[in-house]
Amino acid sequence: MNLFSALEIKKYNLRNRVVIPPMARSLAKPDGEVTDELLSHYEEISRYPGLTIVEHSYVSERGRYSQNQLGVNSDNLIPSLKKLSEKIKENGSISALQINHSGPRADRKVLGNKPLAPSEEGTKKEVEALNKEKMNLIKEKFGEAAERAVKAGFDAIEVHGAHGFLLNSFTSPLTNKRDDEYGGSLKNRSKFPLEVVKEVKDRIGDKLLLYRIGATDHDTNGLKISEAKKLSKKLENKGVDIIDVSGGLCGSRPKELQEKEGYFVPEAKEIKNAVNAPVIGVGGIKDPKKANKFIKKQKVDLVAVGRANLKDPKWIKRARKELI
């Protein structure tokens, strides 16, 4: 088994183990619609990977993170999203759309309103603590967004639960200070993300379901890998087909880890040992030999190579020549 071994998951065949991870390009129209520029970007970057995960798309206006972010919050966006999924699939890559609610990471200037969060305590800005009614509404928005992704022809949907966004802010004890059944223990902090996963799973039929987990906050008082392993097992039991391992409140590219390629692979390996579902490892991977080594040593099942593919969209083609 190596970087260019195929991987079959349910009815989907990934031609290799390289994943294009979701990377925000801020190229959508102001209403979240796909532009020709965004289409061209994905047409180029999806020519060689086994799986292409399209950047985080907001499930509701109150979940928007930035201007010109891709949206999946309206049926009006389905036709342009369909063009995007088709471009990726024409290239032979499995297509996934990541759906997200930015939660406390949102910018009030973008929202025109307070960002939403599990609790007022635990965040460094003015937020609105979610009540159960609004949580149920958000859960519904995730489900509706997933349905739109299916209608738009995507093979897979990835629920974003990392990088300090809403679902991750529930699982982290640093940002979740609730005193009801959604706060406190890991079981309680995981409750809302797992409810969202079930809502999405119930609406996508036989499509693949991915979850991007924030596996560590890199903080002694934050989410720890031991908890992330337990959460990953629960995600698998809820029907998640692939677990995509990244950072929690520390974000996707912590400065203190930048020197090491595959800096979240150790967490991914821990999670791989705890679940049966395929696991994606990530973290500034540039060297094809290192990427291949992670697969051959069975540290992970798939390797996400983001910035290197942005810099050189033929990275995978060159890697194949180098390794085979």
Would the pLDDT of 30 be above 80? yes
pLDDT confidence tier of residue 258, bands split at 50, 70 and 90: confident
Q: What is the mean pLDDT of residues 18-46?
A: 98
- CA gyration radius, the chain: 18
Task: Answer yes or no: is 1 within a domain.
Answer: no
In a domain, 19, yes or no: yes
Does any domain span residue 39?
A: yes
pLDDT at 101: 98
In a domain, 235, yes or no: yes
% pLDDT > 70, the chain:
100
Asked if residue 176 has pLDDT above 90, the reply is yes
Average pLDDT on 256-262 reads 85
The answer, yes or no, to whether residue 42 has pLDDT greater than 90, is: yes
Residue 96 falls inside a structural domain: yes
Quick one: which of 69, 63, 59, 85 has its CA closest to 31? Answer: 69
Per-residue pLDDT tens digits for 149-165: 999 999 999 999 999 99
Q: Looking at the predicted structure, is the pLDDT value of residue 245 above 90? A: yes
pLDDT in tens, 212-241: 999 999 999 999 999 999 999 999 999 999
* Helix intervals (H) in 164-224: 166-171, 186-201
Mean pLDDT of 256-280: 94
pTM, two decimal places:
0.98
pLDDT confidence bin for 324, thresholds 50/70/90: confident
CATH code at 109? 3.20.20.70
The average pLDDT across 18-31 equals: 97
Q: What value does the mean pLDDT take over residues 182-186?
A: 98
Average pLDDT over residues 249-268: 90
Query: Tell me, what's the pLDDT at 255?
Result: 82
Give helix 132-151 / helix 78-90 axis angle, nearest 10°: 50
Judged against a pLDDT cut of 90, whether residue 124 lies above it is answered with: no
pLDDT for 254 equals: 85
> pLDDT value at position 17?
98
Q: Does residue 259 register a pLDDT over 90?
A: no
Domain span at residue 160? 7-322
pLDDT of residue 236: 98
pLDDT at res. 252: 92
How far lies 162's CA from each of 23, 64, 211, in Å?
Answer: 13, 15, 9
Work out the average pLDDT over 46-75: 98
% the chain with pLDDT above 90: 96
- Mean pLDDT over the full length of the chain: 97
CA distance 188 to 149: 29
Overall average pLDDT of the 256-271 stretch: 92
How many structural domains compose the chain?
1
pLDDT score at 257? 80
Pull the structure tokens for residue 195.
Answer: 């409810």
Please compute the mean of the pLDDT values over residues 308-324 and round it to a whole number. Answer: 96
- pLDDT score of 273 more than 80: yes
> Which tokens in the block code for residue 69?
């972010």
Query: Using CA atoms, how far apart are residues 32 and 305, in angstroms rounded to an integer?
Result: 25
